[in-house]
Structures are given as structure tokens and as C-alpha cells.
Structure 1
Amino acid sequence: MKKIIGVILSALLFGLVAGGMMVGVNYIAQERNIYSILRDSGVENPEAMLSSPSVMPETEKSTQASENTVTASSQGSEKTVAEVAKEAMPSVVAITNMMRYQQNGFSIFGEVQKETELPASGSGVIVGQNDTELLIATNNHVIQDSNSLTVSFIDESTANAQVKGTDATVDLALVSVKLSDISPETREKIKAIKVGSSDDMEVGDPVVAIGNALGYGQSVTSGIISAKNRDVQTKEGVSKGLIQTDAAINPGNSGGALLNMQGELIGINVAKYADTDVEGMGYSIPSSAAEGILSSLSNLTTRDKVPEGEQGVLGVQVKDIDAQTAESFAMPKGIYIFKVLEDTGAENSAIQERDIITKLDGQGVYTTADLKSLLSKYRAGEEVRLTLMRQDGSGKYNEMEVKVVLGKASALSGNTGNNGNAPSQNGGQGNQNTPEETEPSTENGNGSTGEENPFKSFQDFFNEYKR
């Protein structure tokens, strides 16, 4: 019995000694391997370094702290919807447009026309200022046909505004408010929006929309980028390259801000798809497309409307080429010149019949109404730049720019006063659905003599055009 116990104890002792030796050997081998690695890395005294009990825990803490910093930085780059809204609200304004509204009716004396004013609501985004003005971006359809414009800021104070420049071809406008008309208290509460890159946005990225929905004041909606580079058919033609979002865009949101989650402006809200079978399809003009146009408009001089008798004219008769007509006859959309008039005082020899006007002083125009609205702010004798599309010998249209000195409206005889500039009859809150276009205008163009249009039908017009 004693021998058996002795053998067992000897075996246990041998096992303990052998195990301890193996652990020691492994530890020494691992330590020497660490020493070797550290020496190869240029550490002069790895033994002293590893002998400090605080080194490894601090290294682990440092690594963990670094990971925490990266995580916090990543999370901090995007804000919550509430944070984005709070930061952007001082940059978003409400715009009230007193629109001219012409109503046709009948009386015992026959047909009568009555012109009244109706308020329409839209939105705008503060994008900068110059020495004397605050500059606000919005949609062209928000401010068109206006008799007066009023802007409301975040503190509910208001100021009168003027249209600084427009580009009807992309439905953008720049509105200015005199800094002298804004109180110091309000100026401390408002700020220009930071513009981001719409090109960097991807489908699925979250966005926030802010605007004056239904004219009730600023409201916030959120969603995602549903699609990019959408071409959307509107009543004025095809709007190209828009951002599609499922963030609610309601009447009155036109001209408002579409923001990324850093609070940067990546779009100007322009329209929604309205149909009983459609849900959540809103559209915005990308900041990448709007920024250059707004920058160009900001360089224009803000003009007041000139008394009618002093307004300048181009001295031409024109016809609108709408989107459908342009597509049917392979023509650029714009304002077709079918007659250059004499004896208006306009120095317009650089214009040719069959030219198509697309811009005046860099401001895009589609219709006679657009052109007349711009020219109403120019006096006779002023020089303007016209951007034209002109055919070469092969039938190809080329863009060119010419200068015209405006003539006098008073030099025109028999002017009917009807220049195709009748106001829209669909007031509403800065309507997302732009006024329905009529057929290409056969009314008198700017500088018209009031003569009857020589083309009795569109087919006659284009038969003449093709000759």
C-alpha cells in the first residue's frame, strides 16, 4: 500500500515539475520572440520596456480610445433631423407673391376683363449677400407675374423684396432684400446656407426638406434620395437632371431647401408629382446645377420696373416655340423672331429673322411673357445682350451672342398692348404645378407694331419657316 501511494505521489510531483518547466520554456520562448521582434523594430531595450507593468494596459487603453474617437467622429459627421432643421431654419424664408390675376366675364355690355391681385406663397433659401443686399434663391414660378414680393424670416419679421434675376429655362430666380430694410436684431438671427455637393449624394441617402408648406410657415419633412438625374415632363416642357426624393414636397415648398444630414443645401425644391395613384415623388434642382446659375444672377444689377412709356423694345415680332413644337420640328425651344422692325429706334441690325432668342443678359427665357417681364425693367437707349440660336448653311443651330440698343415703345404705332403676358389663373401656394402653357404665342412680341400675325395657323408658320 505504501509503495502504491509513493508511486502516485512521485507521478504527481513529476507532472507538476514537468508542467512548470513547459510553461516556463514557452514563456521564455514567447518573451524572446517578443524581444527579437522589438529589437528588429529598432527598440534598444525591450526588456526594460516589457518589465513596466503599465505599458500594455496603457497601449490597450490608447487603442480603445482611438477606436472610440473614430466611432464618435463618424457618428458626429451626420446630425439628427432635429439638429439639421434647427441649424438650417435661419437660412430658409417664406415668400409671399401678390400675383396679377386676370378674370374674364360677361356683362350686359359684353365681355369684360377684370384684373385683381391674389397672394401666393412659396419658399426661398438665403444663399449670400453683397454690400447692400441679402440674396435669396427660389423658383422662377414662385415670383413670376408679381406686383410685389414680401419675405418673412425666422423671427417672423418681414421685408419687401425685388427680383434680381431669373432663368425661366431651369425655373430658378434670385431675390434680393435691401440690408437697410432688415433690422439688426433680424440680421443676427439669419444666415446664409452652406451649399453642399449634390453630386456626392447617393440613392438611399437621407435628406431633409424645409419650406413654407401651404403658406402656414416653415415645416420640416424627411426622407431619402429616391433617384438622381430624373427628367420630368412638366407643362412647360422637360425639366432635366432633377433629384427625386420621397420627403414630402407640398404646395408652398417650392424654392425651399433640400438638405443632407450635415445640414448642407443639396437641392432647391421645385415640384411634386401629383396624382391619386402616386405617393412620395418630389423633385429638386441639384445644387451642382443651381450654384453656377445663381452665381451668375448675383452679378446682375437689381432693377425696378420702368414706366411703360419709357420701356425699351427690341423692335421685333416674335412667336413662342414650345417644347412640343420644338421637338416636332427639330428646333430649339425659345422665342422665334419672324420679323425685324424698322423705325423703332432700336439698333438691332445684329438680329436676323428666324433667330431664336434663349437669353437676355444671361437670363434664360422660354416665352414672350418671360422676355417682356425682363424688358419691362430696361429703358429705351440701354444696351442688352441677347443669346440667340441661329441656323448655319447645314441647318444646324449654333449659339451666339449679340448686342442690341433698345428702341422706344412710344415709337410703335397701333400697339394692342397684348403681348402674350397674361397672368396665370392658378394662384395657390407658389404653385408646384406651373401655369399651363398655351400654344406658341401668336400675339405681338416685344417691339410689335400690332400688325396681324402673317401666319394663320401653325402649319402655315412652319411651312414658311421651312422655306
Structure 2
Amino acid sequence: MPYDEDPKQKPEHGLEEQKEEQFSFLQETIKPKPVTRRKILTQLARVGIYGLIFGAFACLGFFALKPWAQTKLQGSPKTVTIPDDEEPETEPAQDPQAEVVQTPVLDAESYKEIMKSVYETAKDANKGVVSIQPVQADAALSSDGSGTQNSAAGIIVADNGQELLMLCENKICAEAEKWTVTFSDNSEYGVSLKKQDKNSGLAVFAVPRVKLTSTTWENIEVAALGNSNLTTKGDLVMALGNTFGYADGIGYGIVSSNEYQETLADGQRRVLATDIAAASNGTGILFNLSGEVIGMIKPGIWNETENNTAKAIAISDLKATIELLVNGDSVPYIGIYGTTINDAIAKEQEMPTGIYVTQVSTDSPAMAAGIQNGDVLQELAGEKLSNLLSYEKAVLECKVGQPVKLKGKRRGAGGYVDIDFTVTVGSLE
């Protein structure tokens, strides 16, 4: 009997054919639109515009945040160390068999070459010279037009990584709150007072490094501090600064004397006197022919009022004080004027050796401790005092606010007796 096919059922292959017919359109391949040259250029232009916008915002953000980042992320300032003076080298003995060098003939032409060479040294040294002046309400120059009234010449003395530090006389600190500095390229910047010491008459000002332009950096440099202990009478020297009552002057001359001292509380400083003429209020810097600073020229040394010549405080006698000031530390102060009593004087005068007190400053730590004129001081904070230099060094090694022991002798009815003092070290700022 033949197989009867159920009409309700369809063979499987029939279903597959039906599905293929119903969904045959899904097998068609959809081709992407062709990429034209114009479309490529449009996309590139869009990417370029987005890049320019992003770059502009990035640049604006960089320049807006640069001062903040340089200030906040530059780290702590470095401690400045002023190198000690080196001992002079001993000249080797001359060999008598050595060839004698013929001395060149000096004439007008050679003199011109010498002066040209000295001037080139002065120009290089002048890169470390500055002029600092208080900001006046009227900002007017002096009546003579020199612009040096109330200003003080100084030097770029150190760079601590954050600030450029400048040393000058502290006369411009009185009754002023703002100051400006003028560098050798005539650029001018606002500066702040970092530290001053009224006893030594020195002040250090600071300007942030980030404020200085590249042009200024190219025209300035930190001054080299020389060894003024090697300076002798007759040495050739240069005076730069406001020595003559006007800015940016240069003078040449010789050291006429180096044998005298200027006395101040807790020490004394050697004076380098020259034959270079100077204004009565002139300030400047004294250089040797190697371009090194050997002195700070200041008016009023020995209270001269006539026949003024430039006189400078020897830089070697200031280095310990300078190191304290550039690091923002107070300079220790006790307030004693004295003179050295050596073995010969002690034997002749029948008195003990040490520092003979000639004067005690009013309202000083020494006066508060009860030290009097005529006392002989022999030990400070455990250090033996043999002369004024050792006393000054011992004072500068103390810390401001620190109580220290001072031992010595005082004349009584039966002769000299031991005395002890406790002095709280102060400062004059």
C-alpha cells in the first residue's frame, strides 16, 4: 500500500527552501560609502582644530600655574657658606741660574693697553654691583639728577637657589618698607629686606630668582669675595658704584693705608684707605685687579668732613657676619667695646691679660648682666679670650637668645678679683 503523505506535514527540505526565500535579502553585502579626498581633508582639519584648542588651553594653564609651581615646588633654599680666606702661598726660592726675563719697555701705547685691560676687568666686576634704593612716595630723583640720593651701592653676594641675595649698607633701611634694586643692565626689580644688623651697619636684600628675566641673568653674576688680608699698601684698586655721588662710576687708585681700624661693639674691622676721591655720602665697592671684592666703601669712617677719599671696610673682617645675614640668621650682640691686654701690657700695668672693657653700650646685654668699664674679660662660653679677634669670633659663634657665661677680673680694694657673668646674647635689627 502506497505511503500516504500527510498534507499537514511538509518535508524538511521544503522548509529550508522556504526560509532561504524569505530571508534571502540578509545575504546581500552592504558596501560602505566610498571615502573621498574631501572627507579625508575635512577629518584632518577637524583633528587639527581640536589639537589647536587643546594646545591653547594647555599653554594658558602652564603659564598660569608656572609661577605657583616654581614657588611651591622649588624646595628649600640652600644654606650659603662663605669660604674662609686661604693662606698665602710661599713663593719658591728663585734659582740663581734661571734666565733673567727682560722687562718690557713702557710707553704711552703700552699704558693705553694696561688701562684698557683694567677697564675690561672693571666691566666684568661691575656685573656683581647693584644699587638699592627705598621706594619714595613721590618717586622723584634727587635734585641733581644723579638718582643716588638715599641709595646705597651693594654687591650680589649669594644665590641660594630661590633668591638672589644682595649686600649693602643698612642706611636705606630706616623709615622704609619697600625697596628696589637696579642691576648693571639698568633693569629694576622690587626687593625685600631679608636681614639687617645695625651694629655692623650691613643689610641683605633678596629678589626671587623666578622674577628675573633672561636678559638680566645674562648681565649679572655673583661677586667674588677676595682675601683682603693680602691687600697691602700701594696695591692698585678699583672703586665701583656710587662712590662719587652718581651711579655707575669707576675710579682707579692705590691703597694708601691698611694699618688702621674702625671700632664697633664686640669687635673691630680693618680699614682700607685709598687715594680715590669720594663724595661725602658716596657708597661703593672696592675691587682688586683680579676683579675680587676686597672692601665695602662707606661714608663717615673716622668722621671725615673734608678732603674725602674712599675708605672701605675690609671684606675679610665681614665674612662671618655676611654668612649669618644671607642665611636669614640674626647677628649675635653683647655690646662691649674693648682693647687687648697682652702679656707685655699686663706686666707693665700690673693687670691680668684679656679684653679690657673701655665702654658698655647702653641697654645692651652686657649692661643688663652688670659688666662695667674697667673689667677684664678672659673667657666667653668656654673660649679663652686673648685679643679682640678671639672675642669677636667667640661672640659670633653664640646663638641669639642663648645665655652664656663670661668670666674675668675686676679691680677691688685688694687688687683684681674673679667675676662671673651670665649674659643673654641679643641682636640689633
Normalised by the size of structure 1, how large is the TM-score? 0.46
